């Protein structure tokens, strides 16, 4: 499951096979200007973020708008519906979501907390599914959004099974303290990942948001942790033993469902 067109700062990066300065590379840079925190941008902002000439931005954004890749709202632009339609056709994500959805719905109803489904993207994770809980906290996560792997339960569930080079990249990039409880030293991170591999469960205790606890487990298929699920809720109300068992059993069931679906397909 490849996400090589996405960088660690939530923006598109043209792979080395694409010539620097080509039209495609410039289009990717414009698309990459939009992030979780920058969903609507004006031309001067895109110029500042991408470093491209203003005339180039005007010409390419007009063409991208005509193609449905961008949408205009007055002077501001946002990503277009065509991108969403294309994204829904990614076979690996479509199959994963189809297999996981019934289990995620059951998990949400059983726990009344927020359930996430995510895939690895370098030193981050990308959420490809979210079911908001009826009794849980309001979370800023969204489908298509990203979070750092080191300070999220679902991220640690994936990072524990990634190559050592990915963990080194996390450390090199720096582990910013998002709350007083965030992991910010390599030794602490290594111990957390060892625990995940030993138990099959990852925990986040107020590391990305105060008052919120999370438990996660990897989804194993193609001999790798290609996805993970998690449940997030209020620390004061979280039945950690019961929910941990439910998350682990659900991840195992989804793993098997995906493997069967792949077998049938091929």
> Could you read off the pLDDT of 31-69 as tens digits, one per residue?
989 987 788 999 999 999 999 999 999 999 999 999 999
Confidence at residue 84, expressed as pLDDT on a 0 to 100 scale: 81
Lowest mean pLDDT among 4-13, 20-29, 31-40, 107-116: 4-13
pLDDT at position 2 over 70? no
Angle between helices 240-265 and 91-111 (to 10 degrees): 150
pLDDT at position 14 over 50? no
pLDDT at position 8 over 60? no
* Count of C-beta atoms within a 10 Å radius of residue 45: 15
Lowest mean pLDDT among 74-88, 171-185, 213-227, 235-249: 74-88
* pLDDT (average), residues 24-32: 92
Tell me, which fold does domain 23-87 have in CATH? Arc Repressor Mutant, subunit A (1.10.10)
- Tell me the pLDDT band of 9, cut-offs 50, 70 and 90: very low
Tell me which DSSP letter residue 19 carries: P
Confidence at residue 87, expressed as pLDDT on a 0 to 100 scale: 76
Alpha-carbon separation of residue 249 from 131, 136, 244 (angstroms):
18, 21, 9
Residue/partner pairs of 11-14 with CB below 8 Å, 24 or more apart: 11/35
Strand locations in the chain, DSSP E? 41-42, 70-73, 76-79, 114-121, 124-131, 146-148, 202-205, 212-221, 224-234
- Tell me the pLDDT band of 17, cut-offs 50, 70 and 90: low
Strand order of the β-sheet with 70-73 is 41-42, 76-79, 70-73
The first and second tokens of residue 95, run together, are 């199959």
* pLDDT (average), residues 194-215: 96
Nearest to residue 204, comparing CAs of 119, 33, 195? 195
pLDDT at position 82 over 80? yes
* pLDDT (average), residues 5-34: 67
Confidence at residue 222, expressed as pLDDT on a 0 to 100 scale: 83
To the question of pTM greater than 0.85 for the whole model, the response is no
Alpha-carbon separation of residue 65 from 44, 52, 60 (angstroms):
17, 18, 8
As a whole number of angstroms, the distance between CA 174 and CA 181 comes to 16
Q: What are the pLDDT digits (tens) for 97-122?
A: 999 999 999 999 999 999 999 999 99
Name the segment(s) of the chain with CATH classification 1.10.10.10. 23-87
* pLDDT (average), residues 177-206: 95
The first and second tokens of residue 33, run together, are 């200007």
Question: Higher-confidence residue: 14 or 74?
Answer: 74
The mean pLDDT value of the chain amounts to 88
CATH superfamily of 91-265: GAF domain (3.30.450.40)
pLDDT at position 136 over 60? yes
Confidence at residue 44, expressed as pLDDT on a 0 to 100 scale: 95
- Tell me the pLDDT band of 208, cut-offs 50, 70 and 90: very high
* pLDDT (average), residues 168-186: 93
Q: What are the pLDDT digits (tens) for 225-242?
A: 999 999 999 999 899 999
Report whether 253 contacts 103 (CB < 8 A).
yes
Name the segment(s) of the chain with CATH classification 3.30.450.40. 91-265
């Amino acid at each position: 499951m490849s996400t090589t067109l996405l960088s660690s700062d939530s923006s598109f990066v043209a792979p080395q096979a694409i010539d620097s300065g080509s039209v495609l590379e410039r289009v990717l840079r414009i698309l990459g200007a939009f992030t979780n925190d920058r969903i609507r941008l004006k031309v001067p902002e895109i110029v500042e973020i991408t470093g491209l000439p203003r005339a180039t931005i005007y010409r390419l954004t007009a063409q991208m708008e005509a193609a449905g890749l961008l949408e205009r709202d007055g002077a501001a632009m946002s990503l277009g519906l065509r991108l969403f339609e294309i994204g829904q056709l990614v076979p690996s994500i479509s199959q994963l979501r189809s297999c996981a959805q019934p289990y995620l719905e059951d998990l949400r109803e059983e726990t009344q907390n927020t359930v996430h489904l995510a895939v690895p993207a370098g030193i981050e994770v990308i959420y490809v599914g979210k079911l908001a809980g009826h009794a849980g906290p309001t979370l800023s996560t969204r489908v298509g959004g990203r979070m750092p792997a080191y300070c999220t339960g679902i991220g640690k569930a994936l990072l524990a099974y990634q190559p050592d080079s990915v963990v080194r990249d996390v450390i090199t990039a720096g582990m910013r303290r998002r709350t007083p409880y965030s992991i910010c030293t390599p030794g602490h991170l290594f111990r957390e990942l060892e625990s995940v591999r030993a138990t099959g469960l990852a925990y986040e205790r107020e590391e990305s948001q105060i008052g919120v606890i999370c438990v996660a487990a990897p989804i194993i298929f193609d001999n790798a942790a290609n996805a993970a699920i998690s449940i997030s809720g209020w620390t004061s109300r979280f039945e950690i033993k019961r929910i941990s068992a439910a998350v682990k059993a659900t991840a195992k069931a989804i793993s098997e469902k995906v493997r069967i679906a792949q077998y049938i397909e091929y």
